[in-house]
Chain A
Amino acid sequence: MSLPQQQLQIDVNKSPEVLERILRVVRHRGFKVELLNWKDETSQLLLTVSSERSINLLTSQLIKLFDVTNVIELNDVAQSKSA
């Protein structure tokens, strides 16, 4: 069974550990990373995550991180084709 997926754009202040911070929260709050694209020059992370949980539970925790400046929920990613 495939889980609902969501794409997030996360803008950050550059710091060596910022990716660890974000990924820790993603895992701990019950989300799985499906796809990750990090652009160091723009300090921007594009993240596709999946979970049974509502995406708000993740975004509200991510935006609290001191080095995260913005979290945008992009389009709902289509359900995995190989269900």
Chain B
Amino acid sequence: MRGADLLVSYLKEEGVTTIFGYPGGAIMPVYDALYESGLKHVLCRHEQGAAFAAVGYARASGEVGVCLATSGPGATNLITGLADAYMDSIPIVAITGQVPSAVIGTDAFQEMDVLGLSLACTKHSFMVTDKDELANVLKQAFSIAKSGRPGPVLVDIPKDIQLAEVEAALITSSKDSIDDFDKNTLVNAKALLSKAKKPMVYAGGGVGMANAETQLQDFVDATGIPSVTTLKGIGSIPNSKPYALGMLGMHGTKTANLCVQECDLLIVVGARFDDRVTGRLETFAADARVLHLDIDPAEINKLRTADVSLCGDLQTILPALNDVKLSIAEWQEHCSALKQENLWDYNAPYRSIYAPKLLSRLSEKLSDTSVVTCDVGQHQMWVAQHMNFTSPKNHLSSAGLGTMGFGLPTALGARYARPPEDTVVVVSGDGSFMMNVQELGTIKREQLNVKIVLIDNQRLGMVRQWQQLFFEERYSETILTDNPDFVTLASAFNIEARTITEQDEVETALDEMINSKGAYLLHVRINEADNVWPLVPPGASNADMMEKV
């Protein structure tokens, strides 16, 4: 068989059912091998869309996502998706065609040093230089992507290797075993815990990546310790738990931020002290000792020194801490009282639509198995604040890289990752939506049942908000009153669509969207003056939140 056939056989052997890609010259042998192969290939309409679809697939399923592109521009278009996956530790494998080995380094047509480009935005990358190594490289690529702290891996395959005759020797990938955490340190961790009067769990994306939501919830149930989550940690502890205080950080809840500032022990679970979480780092939970639990030793002491750290699998670390006895009733009451005091206020005494209230209603109407993807900006923060999730696999948000254009293609990936009965909703903004709007073509081609809530304030809203607050209302290049007619745009792709502008239209419009048979775009016009609150200003402590101006 040809190298290209080996690749397709390998993917099938690996259990891959769906891949996302875009053909081109240097990957044509692989597309030839895909033809009538039985492996589902989804033609996205831009390679960035294919990379994000693979990310969405991986995040919504927990499996490795796969994308495919040609050399040169095909590969460079994948880069943003790889960077996003790298920042959020998402296991994807990107396969790129490369010009034939003989002309690499001659500035051949559509040649680009993709291995060089990949260094900063992948966990690892390969260029296959020996046809007999192809099978082994593929096995390593999948193994690396999903082992330890997951991440994206790129495999660049020159065209001559795709065409070369190779032996079919397929061994599929395996997850490396995780080193056991240090049992001696466990004693110190328990001692630290048992002394705490005001402990706080700060749960990040690592919980979901370790599939340790159950263990984390058992831990907070057993100990009664209050908890906050990062943007990527949302869903790892449902907001309905009595001491779950919601998201912390720049647009976190007032309760989460104030209680973290007051705590005397911060139990960091699969999180990394991101600047959007901590605000001014020196002031972040300044009086707290730190117990850091993570799979990646490089995160320990990176930004905040840990008093005690345990490195390993959260699935085994967390149960080992369950039996610590604490007397924290006063602290629990304090956190709980603050939570009750600071419930979201959905009172919006005007006719125009208040997006937080709409999203809260949407969340109530969706089942627990629904997936919501979003883009980046004000609507993303409103989703994080006002929608409730019971699994991180149900909330796909570009956290580390903050990539506009993330929402629509990741929803395509999620659509393939989940059964038809799980509703998939994209919440986007009018700025972000236009960044990968070409993927409406994929929805049309594949007739995908994806619901789109497009929150339109005719602005690049988050930048506008910062211009209002921090740049003397100088609205430089953030006014989008020249947006296209989104309903007409949707109709060009055979997607049912409707615009709403007033609060009394929300209920029926949401029901109509949810009950529609196929894809649906709900275009929601909102007031451009609506901002995201609370807000920790840049450089400030999380204790100094702004709450409206």
Contact = CB atoms under 8 A, between A and B. Distances in A.
A57 B302 contact: yes
Contacts of A20: 116, 119
Contacts of A17: 115-116, 119, 127
Q: How large is the interface on B (under 10, 10 to 19, 20 to 34, 35 or more residues)?
A: 10 to 19
B489 interface: no
A28 B115 contact: no
Nearest to A28: B120
Interface stretch (A40-48, A59-67, A73-81): A59-67
Contact of A66 (B129, B144, B296): B144
B297 interface: yes
A67 B140 CA distance: 12
A24 interface: yes
Interface in A48-64: 56-57, 60-61, 63-64
Contacts of A60: 297-298, 300, 302
Contacts of A14: none
B423 to A, nearest CB: 38
A15 to B, nearest CB: 9
A64 B300 CA distance: 13
A21 B119 contact: yes
Interface of A: 16-17, 20-21, 24, 28, 56-57, 60-61, 63-67
B327 to A, nearest CB: 36
Nearest to B126: A15
B296 A64 contact: yes
B124 interface: yes
B283 interface: no
A23 to B, nearest CB: 10
A24 B117 CA distance: 11
A24 B129 CA distance: 22
B296 A24 contact: no
26 contacts: A16-B129, A17-B115, A17-B116, A17-B119, A17-B127, A20-B116, A20-B119, A21-B119, A24-B119, A24-B120, A28-B120, A56-B301, A57-B302, A60-B297, A60-B298, A60-B300, A60-B302, A61-B298, A63-B298, A64-B296, A64-B298, A65-B124, A66-B123, A66-B124, A66-B144, A67-B124
Nearest to A59: B298
Interface of B: 115-116, 119-120, 123-124, 127, 129, 144, 296-298, 300-302
Contacts of A61: 298
Residue from A17, A56, A67 whose CB has the most chain B CB atoms within 10 Å: A17
Nearest to A65: B124
Contacts of A24: 119-120
Nearest to B148: A64
Contacts of A56: 301
Contacts of A65: 124
A13 to B, nearest CB: 11
A17 B126 CA distance: 9
A24 B124 CA distance: 13
Contacts of B115: 17
A69 to B, nearest CB: 14
A64 B144 CA distance: 11
Nearest to B125: A17
Residue from A24, A57, A60 whose CB has the most chain B CB atoms within 10 Å: A60
Contacts of B116: 17, 20
B244 to A, nearest CB: 32
Contacts of B127: 17
B294 to A, nearest CB: 12
Nearest to B301: A56
Contacts of A21: 119
Contacts of A66: 123-124, 144
A19 to B, nearest CB: 11
A28 to B, nearest CB: 7
A33 B123 CA distance: 23
A67 B302 CA distance: 22
Nearest to A20: B119
Given A56-B301, A60-B298, A67-B124, 6 more contacts: A20-B119, A57-B302, A60-B297, A65-B124, A66-B124, A66-B144
A60 B175 CA distance: 21
Contacts of B302: 57, 60
Contacts of A67: 124
A63 B311 CA distance: 15
6 A-B pairs closest in CB distance: A60-B298, A66-B124, A24-B119, A61-B298, A21-B119, A64-B298
A60 B129 CA distance: 30
A25 B129 CA distance: 24
Contacts of B300: 60
Residue from B127, B129, B302 whose CB has the most chain A CB atoms within 10 Å: B302
Contacts of A57: 302
